[in-house]
Structure 1
Amino acid sequence: MESERAVIVKVLFFAQSKELAGTREAIIQLPQRISYKELLNIITETYNLQSLKNNILLAKNEEVCEQSIDLEIKHEDIIAVIPPLSGG
C-alpha cells in the first residue's frame, strides 16, 4: 500500500488472535480512510486470522469500531484485534 496518503499504525492482538498471529503487536501501513470490512480483510489475511474473521471485533484507540462505517486512520493510531471472549 504505497501511497502518499498512507499512515503507519500499531495493531495489537489479544488472546486467540495473538496465538494465531504469532505476535502480540505489529506495525502496518494503511490508507487514511478505509472501510471496516477492508480493514478486517487486511488484518485477517495478513496475520492468519481467517478462522476468527466472523467473530472478532476491531477497536481503534480503545473504542470498538462500528462495522458499517468508514474509518479515519491517523498516523500512530492503535488498532486492537479482539477475539471472542470465553468464560463463565
Structure 2
Amino acid sequence: MEIEPCITVKLLFFARSKELAGTRESTIQLPPKISYGQLLNIITKNYNLEQIKDNILLAKNEEVCEESCDIEIKEKDSIAVIPPLSGG
C-alpha cells in the first residue's frame, strides 16, 4: 500500500467562517487528490464550522469547486472557505 504524500495548502476563512474558526487563515496538510465532501468534512471538523457546513462553498485559487468533482491539490494552492453572505 502506497502512502500518498501530503501537500501544505493555505486555508482562507471569510465572514462567519472566520468568526467560528477564530482565524483569518491557516495551513493544512492534504493529499494530492481529495473529494469535495472529504475536504469539507476535514475543514468543518478541524475549524469548528459544523453549524454552517451545509451552506459553505469551497474555492481553490479563487475558483468555486464543484461538489461532484475531486479536487487536485498542488503546492501553493489556497482553499477559501466561503459561508453564506447576507447583504442589504
Name the TM-score, length of structure 2 as normaliser: 0.94
The within-5 A match list for 1:70-85 is: 70-85=70-85
Describe how 1:50-69 pairs up with structure 2 within 5 A. 50-69=50-69
Identity of aligned residues (%): 71
Q: Is 2:15 the counterpart of 1:15?
A: yes
- Shift in Å at residue 4 of structure 1? 4.8
Distance across 2 between alignment mates of 1:22 and 1:81? 13
CA distance in 2, matches of 1:10, 1:42: 14
**What is the TM-score when the length of structure 1 is the normalising length?**
0.94
Measure the CA separation in 2 of the matches of 1:10 and 1:84: 21
Q: Aligned residues, how many? A: 86
Structure 2 portions without partners, runs of 5+: none
**TM-aligned CA deviation for residue 87 of structure 1:** 1.1
- What's the CA shift string for 1:1-23, capped at 9, x where partnerless? xx552100000000000000000
Query: In angstroms, what is the RMSD of aligned CA positions?
Result: 0.9
Aligned to 1:86: 86
| Runs of 4 or more consecutive aligned structure 1 residues displaced over 2 Å after TM superposition | none
